Amino acid sequence: MLGKGVVGGGGGTKAPKPSFVSYVRPEEIHTNEKEVTEKEVTLHLLPGEQLLCEASTVLKYVQEDSCQHGVYGRLVCTDFKIAFLGDDESALDNDETQFKNKVIGENDITLHCVDQIYGVFDEKKKTLFGQLKKYPEKLIIHCKDLRVFQFCLRYTKEEEVKRIVSGIIHHTQAPKLLKRLFLFSYATAAQNNTVTDPKNHTVMFDTLKDWCWELERTKGNMKYKAVSVNEGYKVCERLPAYFVVPTPLPEENVQRFQGHGIPIWCWSCHNGSALLKMSALPKEQDDGILQIQKSFLDGIYKTIHRPPYEIVKTEDLSSNFLSLQEIQTAYSKFKQLFLIDNSTEFWDTDIKWFSLLESSSWLDIIRRCLKKAIEITECMEAQNMNVLLLEENASDLCCLISSLVQLMMDPHCRTRIGFQSLIQKEWVMGGHCFLDRCNHLRQNDKEEVPVFLLFLDCVWQLVHQHPPAFEFTETYLTVLSDSLYIPIFSTFFFNSPHQKDTNMGREGQDTQSKPLNLLTVWDWSVQFEPKAQTLLKNPLYVEKPKLDKGQRKGMRFKHQRQLSLPLTQSKSSPKRGFFREETDHLIKNLLGKRISKLINSSDELQDNFREFYDSWHSKSTDYHGLLLPHIEGPEIKVWAQRYLRWIPEAQILGGGQVATLSKLLEMMEEVQSLQEKIDERHHSQQAPQAEAPCLLRNSARLSSLFPFALLQRHSSKPVLPTSGWKALGDEDDLAKREDEFVDLGDV
Amino acid sequence: MASASTSKYNSHSLENESIKRTSRDGVNRDLTEAVPRLPGETLITDKEVIYICPFNGPIKGRVYITNYRLYLRSLETDSSLILDVPLGVISRIEKMGGATSRGENSYGLDITCKDMRNLRFALKQEGHSRRDMFEILTRYAFPLAHSLPLFAFLNEEKFNVDGWTVYNPVEEYRRQGLPNHHWRITFINKCYELCDTYPALLVVPYRASDDDLRRVATFRSRNRIPVLSWIHPENKTVIVRCSQPLVGMSGKRNKDDEKYLDVIRETNKQISKLTIYDARPSVNAVANKATGGGYESDDAYHNAELFFLDIHNIHVMRESLKKVKDIVYPNVEESHWLSSLESTHWLEHIKLVLTGAIQVADKVSSGKSSVLVHCSDGWDRTAQLTSLAMLMLDSFYRSIEGFEILVQKEWISFGHKFASRIGHGDKNHTDADRSPIFLQFIDCVWQMSKQFPTAFEFNEQFLIIILDHLYSCRFGTFLFNCESARERQKVTERTVSLWSLINSNKEKFKNPFYTKEINRVLYPVASMRHLELWVNYYIRWNPRIKQQQPNPVEQRYMELLALRDEYIKRLEELQLANSAKLSDPPTSPSSPSQMMPHVQTHF
């Protein structure tokens, strides 16, 4: 703040960035070394994990309020992670309230989670890569889960500094071969330890039976069939072994263009309309091949436009929607806003926070995704149209949009099992290239795009706006996003089911070795104890009540009425000639040309969208029915729990929504206890005691970003901005005006 | 009984309250009664109009104008209420179109309101209905210009609770443990002779005599001397408020003022220096010297430490709120929403006010120093800082009645110029004295309640209804500029208090998550990462933005509360049954489970 009596000062002065000042004299280092030796913490290694290099007497900075102090310990690098073993770690282990990941500790960084490594030379921060001529006195690691670690190497032996820094750079930046990744070392070593959670009922969609079950559940089995033409990946390596196509479609068509140009079923609505996706045919210059493609597509469209199918609306996500480059650019800017090195940086960016957010475009991209999903929902729900999503490989934006549409329209997808099954169906079996999009091999960062993170952020908007509709919590989504970078799970690791099966040895290439059993992220007990898993389950969620006989009749009546009403409003069926026009449009779209007719139809689209959107929002929410998000400017928010959780300045001590959640759980506990007493009075039975979620005790001291950011603050000092006032610009005249007229006669 | 459907555009609480109030009277009203009326409210006129709704297009309706409100009922849908606007909310009335206007709905009235909305009516050119409506609206929306009383003086409502008794300064200071060995109560201002904008009762240092106070008053702007607002229950540091010293260009000094500040400092032996927080940016404090004001330099005040808090003046705040309205009404600025919001600077002002209050609270709470707060005249920014700091420090003020007392004391009794800032009954909408200072304070309270959802007894509706009646002129609470004017006008005898309405309906304003805590200091985080635009207030008129649906977490919690009460009751009944069974041998062979059906609860 300003010094007293400052006359010339024009508002606050920006303080220089604080630099660490060592208070440890050289003579005291020996003492610390002794202490380190005595309190040495054991490095926890997973099966198959190997220690590669380490350094002792490393000082890890602990960011707290505006001051910085540190903890001494060892910094190690394995083939799985970078880990810091601090002296005071034992104290944290005794803290029962900590939400601990059993695989990755608080001071562990998986190699896949490292985003950027910086070194500080003479107070200057530089990116570290390749061979170093000079070694830094300070190491800063930015992680993909937004953690920031700062290590001081000034007190470490020089040769250890060289070894640990070189090792970290090499093992986090050097390109890797798929087979050499830790996933396989772990799977081999942990072969006998694999225990499948019997409670995990997530549908994996790797069998024909799974697809038939889904068809039956959504009542799509009258018009669509599960096919095994790609069993053993004979036809196409991008597609799953089993998938669903329109019933009349000849199976030999799938082989024509290796699965391209085939409408693949995603989901069916209660009114019979279906969501389909199709990967675009490869672009060709040869007129002859173009003609063949056109003829093929004509046949496809005739099939899906013929009864029993209704109108099909095509959404070309490759040309009229977001590009992958747009998503990557936006996210790169967005994440930088949360990788904060110190308090000064936090408050410097706070002044222009909203424009920084906006210029990253990330929230706007979320809005566009949700809007696109609403538009498709409107086509299916209100206009009773089938929708065909078109994309080059149908493995990025198709996964995103089809998942969002199903979340909005299908309450089953809002249960935990349903949501996990949805991800299996649309993303894992849908061939989303997790290996490339997460750049696990570090071979080509041009393929790295956070499409799945974008999906989770869109889901978070829905969960945040309609909490009772979802069985899972935002904490569930946060730890799911973290799991992208924990390479012991196969779920988010491969580019396709074929690649996974090949590398697991299931395809009989090497009949002598046993197939590997790889973990899936859905077995949450691998990462969390049962007590911690209670935070993944939403206490607000109420399961859909089961219908008794009387209600079932009413439901059927509702169903029929819902079917008939849109039909009355739907447009008349197009005439035969329309087919060719539609196909022509599609061909031209594939060739990248724009059509003015689309511009004309967009106005009508907007009106339909607006009417549908406003109509839905004017009613009270049925959490087990159609669920739409609000997408106006103020409604799309930053997912604070994921993005702000490691920033100490952003914590509200004793505040945030966790305070109300804590009260709610307390009340549920009390009600349950009373109910048990009543039962006891009736039956003189001892009811089993429900386990209390003690993680939420003492909410007065919990951070608003609970269960993360459990940093223990030494005091309850308030967080105070350190940056000064921004110039008002054209309002300087106003600022100079007197508050009130002053009668000079009084002076 | 006249019925009205739920208002789509007006505050729910206001409308529901009017209807409920009418019902509670027990008066049988004519079924053809078109407008719910308060006791004392009279119908002036009604006219057929077309309301040009900015969201749903033109709506044909009939507008009723009483001496209190403008009430529009749709003619297209039976008994469908569209607008219920207190006339006090009206800021400006303009005629739209002229004799030669030919376009559809281009001839009528355009009304600007103080609560973030505008109303537009199209009328027929024949029959002079616009002129009539314009004249009547002008007359009753701006009664001061026509020598008419504000509606508050005609209001004959009766409530179970008398809100005027909520605040008793002697009781409030006694709650704080005052007077004590260091602080005394003085009635030197009993007839407002020392300072006409201060309350009659003041708390001043024990060692300062009334003569000392008079000498200090000559050196403080408007004679607003440093007086106590709050004292810490344990460490006895205090928050003191006042106006700026009249230093002027020549750097005047006043030994009585200097000594007085030292006396304040010495009321606590533990501290070495008094901390002075000047709410202004330093450039403004310096500029005020040109008109006789200034700040406490360390040349003159050796035992004080001065900090400037960079909170801008009433003009900057007024323009900032105008920009907020521009981006949210009638339609939310969709493209570039965040940069539009940032360009209003509104949340930056909120941030600086909160930051200043946090510093005041922290200084007092840590016991290092007593704090003296001032701005220019000590009735705008100073009120914001002291009341917010007290809210952070003292959990009593987070209760419903405690908050009412806080507002009565720090804002109303200490002379925040409500009449000038709001323009009650005044037609001069361009008056430079208008400013949303109190709204900004309520916004800060909302930000705090959002960050600490279990710490406040009141809910969001409580804050909204206070703001609605800041403008409505239905109650006398916020009328006039100071206590002396209210005394002269006998406001507490001739008008009804807003707190009567609220305290008669407390359940509607309660936060079910409220957890009473003693001595817990709340420090909100004044960062843009956590501050957000108060959508349910600034954008509540837009039906496309989230309707005020009940918060699902709150709804579930209420259900659980009801369930718990039911179970407790049933458990008591079972215990009684068991007691009866123990005293009398059982004669009935049926088992208890058959007597009372078992109910399963699903979470």
Dump pLDDT digits (tens) for A372-381.
999 999 999 9
Shared domain check, A314 and A377: yes
Residue A171: inside a domain = yes
B2-32 burial: b if 16+ Cβ within 10 Å, else e = bebeebbbbbbbbbebbeebbeeeeeeeeee
Handedness of CA B5, B6, B8, B9 (dihedral sign): positive
**Using CA atoms, how far apart are residues A518 and A501, in angstroms rounded to an integer?**
10
Q: Is the peptide bond before B245 cis (omega within 30 degrees of 0)?
A: no
Query: Which chain B residue has the Cα nearest residue A741?
Result: B291
pLDDT at A400 over 90: yes
Quick check: is A17 in a domain? no
Region A295-313: mean pLDDT is: 77
Q: Which helix (H) or strand (E) holds B69?
A: strand B69-74
Q: How many CB atoms lie within 10 A of CB B78?
A: 8
Which of A698-702, B90-94, B231-235, B416-420 is predicted least confidently?
A698-702
Distance CA A394, CA A315 (A): 12
Task: With CB atoms and an 8 Å threshold, state whether B529 touches A725.
Answer: no
Instruction: Round the average pLDDT of chain B to a whole number and report it.
Output: 87
Same domain, residue pair A227 and A277: yes
Is residue B220 a contact partner of residue B377, using CB atoms and an 8 Å limit?
A: no
**Rounded to an integer, what distance in angstroms lies between the CA atom of residue A237 and that of residue B440?**
61
Give the chain B residue whose CA is nearest to the CA of A612: B544
Which one has a higher pLDDT value, A94 or B81? Answer: B81
B297 contact residues in A (CB cutoff 8 A): 4-5
| A702 confidence band (pLDDT: 50, 70, 90) | confident
Section A447-469 average pLDDT:
94
Instruction: List C-alpha distances in Å: B151 to B45, B52, B67, B93.
Output: 16, 27, 7, 19
Specify if A30 maps to a domain. Answer: no
Quick check: A138 and A161 in contact, CB under 8 A?
Answer: no
Of residues A170 and A370, more confidence is placed in A370
Here the tokens at position A170 are: 């090499």
CATH code, domain with A60: 2.30.29.30
Burial class (CB in 10 A: 0-12, 13-18, 19+), B432: middle
CA distance B259 to B211: 13
Are A296 and A370 in a shared domain? Answer: yes
Q: How far is CA A707 from CA A61, A174, A473, A537, in A?
A: 22, 34, 12, 13
Integer Cα distance of B599 and B587 in angstroms:
26
Nearest CB partner across the interface for B539, out of A634, A674, A740? A634
**Same-domain pairing of A221 and A363:** yes
Triad B326, B330, B336: Cα angle to 5°: 55
* B60 assigned ligand-binding residue: no
For residue A599, being part of any structural domain is answered with: no
Q: Which domain holds residue A378?
A: 208-504+516-535
Task: Kindly state the average pLDDT of the residues B300-328.
Answer: 95
Q: Which of B25, B55, B18 is nearest to B543 (CA)?
A: B55
Residue that finishes a domain, picked among A130, A160, A190: A190
Contact between chains at B523 and A716 (C-beta distance less than 8 A): yes
A682 — phi, psi (to 5°)?
-75, -50
A293 belongs to a structural domain = yes
Q: Name the residue in chain A with its Cα closest to that of B351.
A: A721
Residue A573 has pLDDT above 60, yes or no: no
CB A218 within 8 Å of CB A266: no
Give the pLDDT band of residue A698 (cuts 50, 70, 90): low
Shortest Cα distance, chain B CAs vs residue A454, angstroms: 19
Q: Which two tokens stand for residue B34?
A: 């078109």
Evaluate if residue A745 carries a pLDDT over 90: no
Q: Is A14 among the domain residues? A: no
Does residue A433 share a domain with residue A327? yes
Q: Which residues pair with B306 in a beta bridge?
A: B276
Quick one: CA dihedral A580, A582, A583, A589, positive or negative?
A: positive
Residue A295 lies in a domain: yes
Domain boundary among A190, A219, A249: A190
Instruction: Report which of B457, B470, B503 is spatially closest to residue B162, judged by C-alpha positions.
Output: B503
Q: Give the residue-averaged pLDDT of A215-244.
A: 89
Interchain CB distance below 8 Å, B359 and A720: yes
Q: Of B53, B195, B242, B375, which residue is the catalytic one?
A: B375
Q: When comparing pLDDT for B278 and A550, which is higher?
A: B278
Q: How many domains does chain A have?
A: 2
Question: Do A338 and A430 sit in the same domain of this protein?
Answer: yes
- DSSP class of B467: H
* Final residue belonging to a domain, choices A130, A164, A190: A190
Q: What is residue B155's three-state secondary structure?
A: coil
> What average pLDDT does range B59-88 have in this prediction?
86
Q: Give the contacts of B557 (CB within 8 A, at least 6 positions apart).
A: A660, A663, A664, A667, B512, B513
3-state secondary structure of B86: strand
pLDDT for the residue A513:
58
Based on the residue annotation, tell me whether B375 is a catalytic residue of this protein. Answer: yes
CB-CB neighbours of B179 under 10 Å: 16
Chain B environment of A649 (Cβ under 8 Å)? 525, 527
Task: Give the best residue of B80, B319, B337, B541 to mutate against chain A (max A CB count within 10 A).
Answer: B337
CA distances from B276 to B206, B215, B371 (A): 20, 20, 6
Give contacts of B308 with chain A, Cβ < 8 Å: 1-2, 6
Q: Is the dihedral of CA B282, B287, B288, B292 positive or negative?
A: positive
Cβ-based contacts of A663 with chain B (< 8 Å): 454, 513, 515, 557
Dist. CA B40–CA A509, nearest whole Å: 93
Residue pair B526/A648 in contact by the 8 Å Cβ criterion: no
Q: Answer yes or no: do A146 and A248 share one domain.
A: no
The SS3 assignment for A419 reads: helix
What residues of chain B lie within 8 A of the CB of A672, using their CB? 601, 603
Tell me the residue length of chain B: 603
Query: Are the C-beta atoms of B281 and B310 separated by less than 8 Å?
Result: yes
pLDDT of residue B33: 55
On whether B380 is known to bind a ligand per the annotation, the reply is yes
- For residues A175 and A237, membership in a common domain is answered with no
Please tell me the distance from the alpha carbon of residue A420 to that of residue A430, in angstroms, as a whole number: 14
Residues 6+ apart with CB under 8 A from B391: B397, B398, B403, B406, B445, B448, B522
User: Is A447 within a domain?
Assistant: yes
Asked if residue B577 has pLDDT above 90, the reply is no
In this prediction, residue A700 carries a pLDDT of: 56
To the nearest whole angstrom, how far is the Cα of B411 from the nearest Cα of chain A? 17
> Do both A168 and A270 map to the same domain?
no
The dihedral region occupied by A106, where left means phi > 0, alpha psi between -120 and 50, and beta the remainder, is alpha
Q: Quick one: B583 exposed, middle or buried, by C-beta within 10 A (0-12, 13-18, 19+)?
A: exposed
- The owner of tokens 């305070």 is A659
Interface test with B, best of A739, A741, A746 (most B CBs within 10 A): A739
> For residue A394, what is the DSSP state?
S
Contacts of A735 in chain B (CB under 8 A): 281, 283-284, 312-313, 315-316
CA distance A492 to B254: 74
Examine the pLDDT at A717 and tell me if it is beyond 50.
yes
Query: Is B313 annotated as belonging to a binding site?
Result: yes
Q: Are A243 and A145 part of one and the same domain? A: no
pLDDT tier at B16, thresholds 50, 70, 90: very low
CA torsion sign for B460, B463, B469, B470 is: negative
Least confident of A278-282, A644-648, B306-310: A278-282
- Pairing state of beta strands B238-242 and A81-86? unpaired
Residue B424 predicted with pLDDT over 90: yes
Least confident of B2-6, B30-34, B319-323, B441-445: B2-6
**Are A307 and A336 in the same domain?**
yes
Cβ(A226)–Cβ(A212) under 8 Å? yes
Please check whether residues A451 and A349 belong to one and the same domain.
yes
**pLDDT at position A269 over 60:** yes
CB contact under 8 A, A663 and B557: yes
Q: Are A351 and A380 in contact (CB under 8 A)?
A: no
Is there a binding annotation on residue B288?
yes
CB proximity list for A388: less than 8 A, separation 6 or greater: A263, A276, A277, A278, A304, A312, A313, A314, A315
B55, closest residue in chain A (CA to CA): A614
Total Cβ atoms within 10 A of residue B221: 24
Dihedral class, residue A202 (left if φ above 0, else alpha if ψ from -120 to 50, else beta): beta
- From the candidates B528, B537, B593, which should be mutated to test the interface with A, based on the most A CB atoms within 10 A? B528
Domains of chain B, each with CATH number or no CATH = 43-141 (2.30.29.30), 169-552 (no CATH)
Contact A53, A46 (CB under 8 A): no
Q: How far apart are the first and last CA of chain B?
A: 41
Q: How confident is the model at residue A200 (pLDDT cuts 50, 70, 90)?
A: low
Which range has the worst mean pLDDT, A485-494, A627-636, B24-33? B24-33
